[in-house]
Chains A and B, each alone.
Chain A
Amino acid sequence: MTGGPPPAIELRGINKRFGPVHANKDVSLRVPAGTIHGIVGENGAGKSTLMSILYGFYEADSGEIAIFGETMKIRGSEDAIAAGIGMVHQHFMLVDVFTVLENILLGAEGGALLADGMAAARREITRLEEEYGLQVDPDALVGDLPVGLRQRVEILKALFRGARILILDEPTGVLTPQETDQLFRVLDTLRQQGVTIVLITHKLREIMAITDNVSVMRAGEVVANRPTAETTREELAELMVGRKVLLEVGKRPAQPRRPALEVEHLTVIDEKGLRCVNDVSFTVRSGEIVGIAGVSGNGQSELMEALSGIRSIDSGEIRVNGTRVTPVRPTDAKRMRQASLAHVPEDRHRMGLVMPFEASESTILGYHDDPKYSGMVFMNGRAIVADTAGKMSRFDVRPRNPFLKTANFSGGNQQKIVLAREMERHPDILLVGQPTRGVDIGAIEFIHKRIVEMRDAGCAVLLVSVELDEIMSLSDRILVMFEGGVVGEVAATDADARTLGLMMANIVPDQETAEAGHG
């Protein structure tokens, strides 16, 4: 053999069709052993299909797979596991009511009786924990663990089965920035120990931060392979979308006018009795975008819910265009909508859309009793469909079919449906939560442009996002939330990621200086 050790993964000419859809077109990929290989691409570019073929969910129509130089057929997950491939799925494959140990044992029990494998597994897990720095309590219930630790259990599961190749599918989508950092440290340790890692993501920042090489997929094909050191975010984004993408949002300075949304001493107490929003006061003027930065779980979600009238508040006041609209118990989201406040919820699956509904039904949710859509008794189906078709073309929703089930649109197109519904009411105030979560890069550009257009048309926009980049590029002013309170405000022009990051962790910048000492 020439040229050193064989690559950990070599795919040659993989093809896979689903009916008319050619999900993988003649894909070839080479991942050297002991490296971290990134695969980027928009939703539907074929990344997940390719990895599913590698992990045995699907069999390729044609093509060859070689693992560590050995050509093999992978017919099911058990073949993949036997070949030393482990996968950390985007939605964790864990049993919540099982302990960590039971979850790791499942499928690799080491004997018909659990007692046989239990003690050995415990020892092996301790060894893996020490070797890779993956501390988890083996007797904790998985359901009680935070997301970051659950992901760790998934990684342990793969390593316990002897995985030498680890595939991670969008691993950071559910993680806080701190958890992401921890994950990257773990991945770095794994790489040092010789584990080969394939990282599927659409976050270019992560690709740049951790990978050795990167492959870009577009429309089922690998369109480029690059050593990470020799590429840039801009180049990768362009390769993914197939055209130039503006990662920075082009916008003019804001021209804030009268206050549209005024919040005074707002306090919200959650189901557990915690003050999840604690004495928060701020103002959003029409014609400006105010971003709320913060590690998720610091009260942003509850604040948005309180402002949109979904969650009852404990004390404080909310004024819209100068009129007091403080939600009462029971809360009434409709009243807030009538006050010209529209809400794009953070979790579109849970709160923004009804997945089994047709697109035309999803585009009127919450506005179904508008006389435009509905008579005294019957809905006006024709008007609703025509209205939806208009929205779909204006917001470039694809496919442009008002009768398609909401669930069958991609994440970006679902989000466009929600945005079209809320933005086309021309509200005075727009609350937007995580506008681009799970949305591909081309759609992100579109959505950002629309939000800025709303601002320029005189709308007051309040934006919550866990993506610090998004907050920094869209907002005119940034508020930072920590443990329910607003701990700081910065003008977007003065903001940098480091300062914001410290504020998000509630570490006051320049704490040592005399000035802060007096405060």
Chain B
Amino acid sequence: MDIGESLFLLVLTLDATVRVATPLILAALAGLIVERAGVIDIGLEGKMLGAAFAAATVAAVTGSAWLGLLMALVVSVLLALLHGFACITHKGNQIVSGVAINIMVSGLTALLGVAWFARGGQTPPLSDEARFGAVTLPGAEALADVPLIGAIYSELLSGHNVLVYVAFLTVPFVWWLVYRTRFGLRLRATGENPAAVDTAGISVERMRFLALVCCGILCGLAGAYLSTGHSASFIRDMTAGKGYIALAAMIFGKWRPVPVLLACLLFGFLDAVAVRLQGVALPMVGEVPVQFVQALPYILTVVLLAGFIGQAIAPRASGIPYVKER
């Protein structure tokens, strides 16, 4: 393998990293926003799955990826509001509610998929028009033949679908929202000390519901990306634990947007490498089991939580329903 070839291989791996990391970024930021408001959302997985199904179904029926996206957002936000109804309005246990949503969506999408399309839970394959196609950045073709820079620009940066760019732009947006706006200040206060928010004359319930709506929108984007951007149909349980990896990335990034982005990219990279390493014997090490590489995000997160990589301190009130005292 010469240098050019291995560089090209690296660019391809990074390219795959970006594709894999996109739904993680969206979902992890969704988790970040709700946890900053004091709501734990283990139902990221379910929301993404529901959104993926809604997007693929509507896109298959109408032939429009954009209508599919719209429906994905609607479904995901409704699921988020259901979570809010259970654990904000009725002060239920947030973990139980989230797990219930995951199980419900997993069953419901399979059931509806079989009932509507009779393809074993899959939705019909989408034509290119009904998907989010690749966006070619200006000048990508012209630069394609320039060594290195050309490969990076035209392969790595250009040629992704629009949701990928949205995901990456969401990071600075969420940062700005959380740290530079009134909404963000109240959001963070709600997750740390809701009583302080309440006595300042702000409704804690309203803040938490608003956070859940944001979470629903981001999960909706992630779900639509999975079924109408990354793939061309909905497949049963196609989220395959991405919601949980996103939660891990959120913790790994210590509830801060930019570190969360880096964690998602790291986890995405590990995933891309795992695919590429399949059946390849590395020098010195030999063949690395794919399962090991796939387990790395979780192992890293556990190591982090055990306190080996700095400290991960969650928003203090996260997971605790707010009850007015006295």
* A interface list, Cβ under 8 A from B: 48-49, 52, 55, 57, 76-78, 80-81, 87, 89, 91, 93-98, 102-103, 105-109, 111-115
**B183 to chain A: closest residue by CB:** A112
Could you tell me the distance in whole angstroms from the C-beta of B318 to the nearest C-beta in chain A?
Answer: 13
Cβ-defined contact, B326 with A115, below 8 A? no
Cβ-defined contact, A93 with B181, below 8 A? no
Cβ-defined contact, B182 with A98, below 8 A? no
**Complex formed: what's the CA distance from A119 to B124 in Å?**
57
Which residues on the A side are within 8 Å of B202 (C-beta)?
106-107
Which residues on the A side are within 8 Å of B199 (C-beta)?
55, 77, 87, 89, 93
**A49 to chain B: closest residue by CB:** B326
Q: Is the interface of A mostly helix, strand, loop or mixed?
A: loop
Which of A49, A93, A98 has the most CB atoms of chain B within a 10 A radius of its CB? A93
Cβ-defined contact, B186 with A106, below 8 A? yes
**B198 to chain A: closest residue by CB:** A77
**B176 to chain A: closest residue by CB:** A113
* A93-B200, A112-B182 known, 18 other contacts, Cβ within 8 Å: A49-B326, A52-B326, A77-B198, A77-B200, A81-B201, A89-B199, A93-B196, A94-B193, A95-B189, A96-B192, A97-B192, A98-B188, A106-B197, A107-B197, A107-B201, A112-B181, A113-B181, A114-B184
Of residues 119 through 143 on chain B, the ones whose CB sits less than 8 Å from some CB of chain A are none
Interface string of B195-237 (1 = CB under 8 A from A): 1111111100000000000000000000000000000000000
**Complex formed: what's the CA distance from A113 to B183 in Å?**
8
Which of B193, B195, B324 has the most CB atoms of chain A within a 10 A radius of its CB? B193
Which residues on the A side are within 8 Å of B200 (C-beta)?
77, 81, 93, 106-108
Ordered nearest first, which 3 A-B pairs have the shortest CB separation? A107-B200, A78-B201, A93-B196
Could you tell me the distance in whole angstroms from the C-beta of B256 to the nearest C-beta in chain A?
Answer: 12
Cβ-defined contact, B185 with A106, below 8 A? yes
Q: Is the interface of B mostly helix, strand, loop or mixed?
A: helix
Could you tell me the distance in whole angstroms from the C-beta of A87 to the nearest C-beta in chain B?
Answer: 7
**Complex formed: what's the CA distance from A55 to B200 in Å?**
11
Cβ-defined contact, A95 with B326, below 8 A? no
Which of A98, A107, A114 has the most CB atoms of chain B within a 10 A radius of its CB? A107
CB-defined A-B contacts under 8 Å, sample of 23: A48-B326, A49-B326, A52-B326, A77-B200, A77-B201, A78-B201, A93-B193, A93-B195, A93-B198, A97-B316, A98-B192, A106-B202, A107-B186, A107-B197, A107-B201, A108-B200, A109-B182, A111-B182, A112-B183, A113-B180, A114-B181, A114-B182, A115-B180
Cβ-defined contact, B189 with A106, below 8 A? yes
Which residues on the B side are within 8 Å of A102 (C-beta)?
185
Could you tell me the distance in whole angstroms from the C-beta of A275 to the nearest C-beta in chain B?
Answer: 28
Identify which of A57, A93, A113 contacts B324 (C-beta below 8 A): A57
Cβ-defined contact, B195 with A109, below 8 A? no
**Complex formed: what's the CA distance from A87 to B195 in Å?**
13
Cβ-defined contact, B181 with A98, below 8 A? no
Could you tell me the distance in whole angstroms from the C-beta of B168 to the nearest C-beta in chain A?
Answer: 23
Cβ-defined contact, B182 with A113, below 8 A? yes
Which residues on the A side are within 8 Å of B186 (C-beta)?
106-107
Cβ-defined contact, B326 with A57, below 8 A? yes
Cβ-defined contact, A105 with B326, below 8 A? no
With A112-B181, A113-B182 given, is the CB distance from A76 to B201 under 8 Å?
yes
Which of B185, B196, B316 has the most CB atoms of chain A within a 10 A radius of its CB? B196
**Complex formed: what's the CA distance from A115 to B198 in Å?**
23
**Complex formed: what's the CA distance from A283 to B8 in Å?**
81
**Complex formed: what's the CA distance from A118 to B39 in Å?**
28
Identify which of A55, A87, A98 contacts B189 (C-beta below 8 A): A98
**Complex formed: what's the CA distance from A48 to B324 in Å?**
14
**Complex formed: what's the CA distance from A102 to B187 in Å?**
12
Could you tell me the distance in whole angstroms from the C-beta of B87 to the nearest C-beta in chain A?
Answer: 21
Interface string of B245-288 (1 = CB under 8 A from A): 00000000000000000000000000000000000000000000
Which residues on the B side are within 8 Å of A89 (C-beta)?
199
Of residues 160 through 188 on chain B, the ones whose CB sits less than 8 Å from some CB of chain A are 179-186, 188
Cβ-defined contact, A114 with B185, below 8 A? yes
Identify which of A55, A78, A93, A105 contacts B185 (C-beta below 8 A): A105
Which residues on the A side are within 8 Å of B192 (C-beta)?
95-98
Which residues on the B side are within 8 Å of A87 (C-beta)?
199
Which residues on the A side are within 8 Å of B324 (C-beta)?
57
Which residues on the B side are within 8 Å of A76 (C-beta)?
201
**Complex formed: what's the CA distance from A89 to B196 in Å?**
10
Which residues on the A side are within 8 Å of B183 (C-beta)?
112
**Complex formed: what's the CA distance from A109 to B198 in Å?**
15
Could you tell me the distance in whole angstroms from the C-beta of B317 to the nearest C-beta in chain A?
Answer: 10
**Complex formed: what's the CA distance from A80 to B193 in Å?**
20
Which residues on the A side are within 8 Å of B181 (C-beta)?
112-114
Which residues on the A side are within 8 Å of B326 (C-beta)?
48-49, 52, 57
Could you tell me the distance in whole angstroms from the C-beta of A276 to the nearest C-beta in chain B?
Answer: 25
**Complex formed: what's the CA distance from A108 to B197 in Å?**
11
**Complex formed: what's the CA distance from A77 to B204 in Å?**
13
With A57-B324, A107-B201 given, is the CB distance from A94 to B182 under 8 Å?
no
Which residues on the A side are within 8 Å of B193 (C-beta)?
93-96
**Complex formed: what's the CA distance from A105 to B182 in Å?**
9
Which residues on the B side are within 8 Å of A113 (C-beta)?
180-182
**Complex formed: what's the CA distance from A87 to B201 in Å?**
12
Cβ-defined contact, B188 with A95, below 8 A? yes
Could you tell me the distance in whole angstroms from the C-beta of B325 to the nearest C-beta in chain A?
Answer: 9
**A108 to chain B: closest residue by CB:** B200
Could you tell me the distance in whole angstroms from the C-beta of B322 to the nearest C-beta in chain A?
Answer: 13
Which residues on the B side are within 8 Å of A52 (C-beta)?
326
**Complex formed: what's the CA distance from A237 to B181 in Å?**
51
**Complex formed: what's the CA distance from A97 to B196 in Å?**
12
**Complex formed: what's the CA distance from A421 to B183 in Å?**
50
Could you tell me the distance in whole angstroms from the C-beta of B108 to the nearest C-beta in chain A?
Answer: 37
**Complex formed: what's the CA distance from A76 to B206 in Å?**
15
Could you tell me the distance in whole angstroms from the C-beta of A167 to the nearest C-beta in chain B?
Answer: 12
**Complex formed: what's the CA distance from A55 to B180 in Å?**
30
Interface string of B76-90 (1 = CB under 8 A from A): 000000000000000
Which of A77, A93, A106 has the most CB atoms of chain B within a 10 A radius of its CB? A106
Could you tell me the distance in whole angstroms from the C-beta of A128 to the nearest C-beta in chain B?
Answer: 17
Could you tell me the distance in whole angstroms from the C-beta of A104 to the nearest C-beta in chain B?
Answer: 10
Which residues on the B side are within 8 Å of A103 (C-beta)?
196
Which residues on the B side are within 8 Å of A57 (C-beta)?
324, 326
Cβ-defined contact, A114 with B180, below 8 A? yes
**Complex formed: what's the CA distance from A109 to B326 in Å?**
27
Which of A55, A97, A105, A115 has the most CB atoms of chain B within a 10 A radius of its CB? A97
